[in-house]
A and B are shown apart, each in its own frame.
Chain A
Amino acid sequence: MLNEQEHIDKLMLELRRGTITIGVLSQLSIPQYGYSLVTILNEKGVQVEPGTLYPLLRRLEKQGLLESLWDTNEARPRKYYKLSEMGTEVYEQLCKEWESMVASLNHLIHTGKGEEDGND
């Protein structure tokens, strides 16, 4: 049996997994390479591990949401990712969905208690 904390951790992991993509897309209107993105996201309070982010970036690129460019001018070669045209549109749509989801859930959370027999 899982204890309370383990349940919370597991559920948070699932929640986070779904939101990381939005977080990533939100930062890629300007090109970033993997580790700079990790740093930015963590600074802004979105916990993401490089081991998760790097494969995710590749996947999003493969799906056509991101475009990439190798920069070989610097000391070490880096792959920069930015939103593709489709990625931009998908991101905007996702934001709307997210807003409405947050609104609905907030509504549920705040009105859920004590109003069980509301007007039907």
Chain B
Amino acid sequence: MEMIDRYIYAVTQKLPQSQREEIAIELRGLIEDMLEERVGNREINKKDMESVLLELGSPREMANKYRGTKRYLIGPELYDSFLIVLKIVLISMTAGLGIVFVIETIINPVEILDHFVGLIVSLVTAVPQALGWVTISFAIADYYGGIKTKDLGLDKTWHPSMLSAVPDPKRRIKRSEPIVSIIFYVIVMVLFAFSSNFFGVYVFNDGGFREVVPFLNEDTFSQFMPFVLLLLAIFIVKESIKLISGKWTMKLVGYTVVINLLGIMVVSFLITGDAFWNPEFMSDLVHAGIVTEGSEGYQIGESIWENSTRIIVILFLVGLVWDTIDGFIKARKR
């Protein structure tokens, strides 16, 4: 009978004090009834007891059934607001950290790497924390059940007349587009932050990597880096807004215009100056043994290199202008 005592103890221990005694009596009665049915007049052996307890299931499952059906941390009532709050918290926190980073960098541009590492470290530690706190708060709110969606005022004022029009499929922004863009910008950002040397012609010989002939001027790049990173950060913000909005609106086009204009200005300023590009690029290429001076390849390379500034600016302009016009056209569709 000891096994039964243990079972009952294991179940009731997981239940509120007030119910334990009664459930214990009830369970004991049940187990004895089940044993009796199985065994009849025969002596009860260990095997019988085991099979009865197995049929009842583990004490944890049993206790869960007695406790009721609640087996979630945050119920459907609160889940939507949980998601909204979580998004806002994460986005604003990230933005805050980003602003700190930008200010630090403006004050002390030389240590941008440290600042950036600091930003990453902050993000890595802060994101799980924010996630944790929001979740814990909502779990507590759910546990005590005091706060319902209605009380948060999310549903109270709702009226069918407030429904916004279903966006035309052409006005919708596919979630994947901004997400892919953000990932791309972040990667570029990280690359830039760690070294301008990642951008260049990779030279291999004898199957091994030898060197990179950088596109950018290493000596002056540290001056430009804050602007490049800031620009990328602003583009990320733009994509985040697109992601949240989910559809093209005139307001969104407005943001896009402002951000793209800023982008065009920064890029024109950076790229057209001599100091941005590696002034030794062609001779570096010769040095690396890719082309020989005076050959046809050298001339082609040189003309591409010299025109690239203009080409990149033009491509960039076209891209940004297109982004704006595209948004405008889509926003106008009703």
Q: Give me the interface of A with B, judged by CB distance under 8 Å.
A: 33-35, 39, 49-52, 54-55, 58-59, 76-79
CB distance from A71 to the nearest CB of B (A): 10
In the complex, chain B residues 15-46 whose Cβ is within 8 Å of any chain A Cβ: 19, 22-23, 25-30, 32-34, 37
Q: Can you list 28 contacts pairing A with B, beta carbon distance less than 8 Å?
A: A33-B29, A34-B29, A34-B30, A35-B30, A35-B33, A49-B55, A49-B56, A50-B55, A50-B56, A51-B55, A51-B56, A51-B61, A51-B65, A54-B26, A54-B30, A54-B65, A54-B66, A55-B65, A55-B68, A58-B23, A58-B66, A76-B29, A76-B32, A77-B25, A77-B29, A79-B22, A79-B25, A79-B26
Given the complex of chains A and B, what is the CA–CA distance between A33 and B29 in angstroms? Answer: 10
Residue of A nearest to B67 (CB): A55
Compute how far the CA of A10 lies from the CA of B65 in the bound complex, rounded to whole angstroms. Answer: 18
How long is the Cα–Cα vector from A37 to B66 in the complex, in angstroms? 18
Q: How far is the CB of A82 from chain B (nearest CB, A)?
A: 16
User: Which residues of B are found within 8 Å of A51, using beta-carbon distances?
Assistant: 55-57, 61-62, 65
Number of residue pairs across A and B with beta carbons under 8 Å? 45
Partner of B66 from the list A33, A50, A55, A78 (CB cut-off 8 Å) is A55
When distances are taken between beta carbons in the complex, the residues of chain A under 8 Å from B55 are 49-51
Q: What chain A residues lie within 8 Å of B28 (beta carbons)?
A: 76
Q: A52-B65, A55-B66, A59-B68 are in contact. Are A35 and B34 (CB under 8 A)?
A: yes
Interface residues of B (CB under 8 A from A): 19, 22-23, 25-30, 32-34, 37, 55-57, 61-62, 65-66, 68
Compute how far the CA of A55 lies from the CA of B62 in the bound complex, rounded to whole angstroms.
9
Kindly state the separation between the CA atoms of A59 and B68 in the bound complex, as whole angstroms: 8
State the CA gap A50–B57 with chains docked (Å). Answer: 10
Contact among A49, A52, A54, A59 for B27, CB-based, below 8 A:
A54
A52–B68 Cα distance when bound, in Å, is: 11
Measured in the bound complex, the distance between the Cα atoms of B30 and A52 in whole Å is 12
A78 to B28, CA, bound (A): 10
Compute how far the CA of A79 lies from the CA of B22 in the bound complex, rounded to whole angstroms.
9
- Determine whether the beta carbon of B34 is less than 8 Å from that of A78: no
Contact between B65 and A50, CB atoms less than 8 A apart: no
Q: How far is the CA of A76 from the CA of B28 in the complex (A)?
A: 9
Query: A50 and B34: CB pair below 8 A?
Result: yes
Q: Report B15 CB to chain A, min CB distance, Å.
A: 10
Q: Of all chain B residues, which has the CB nearest A17?
A: B69
Which A residues touch B26, using CB under 8 A? 34, 54, 79
Give the Cβ gap from A120 to chain B, nearest Cβ, in Å.
26
Residue of B27, B28, B30 ringed by the most chain A CB atoms within 10 A: B30
Q: Report A-chain residues with C-beta under 8 Å of the C-beta of B23.
A: 58
List residues of chain B with CB within 8 A of the CB of A50.
30, 34, 55-56
- A6–B56 Cα gap in the complex (Å)? 22
User: What's the minimum C-beta distance from B313 to chain A, rounded to whole angstroms?
Assistant: 52
| Cα A35 to Cα B56 with chains together (Å) | 12
* B30 nearest CB across to chain A (Å): 6
Task: State the Cβ distance, B4 to closest chain A Cβ, in Å.
Answer: 12
| Cβ A35 vs Cβ B29 within 8 A | yes
A34–B22 CA distance with the chains assembled, in angstroms: 13
List B contacts of A52 (CB < 8 A): 65
CB distance from A80 to the nearest CB of B (A): 11
User: Top 6 closest A-B pairs, CB basis?
Assistant: A35-B33, A55-B65, A55-B66, A51-B56, A76-B29, A51-B57
Q: For the A-B complex with A34-B29, A54-B26, A76-B32 known, give 11 more contacts whose Cβ atoms are closer than 8 Å.
A: A34-B30, A35-B33, A39-B37, A49-B55, A50-B55, A51-B57, A54-B30, A58-B66, A59-B68, A78-B29, A79-B25
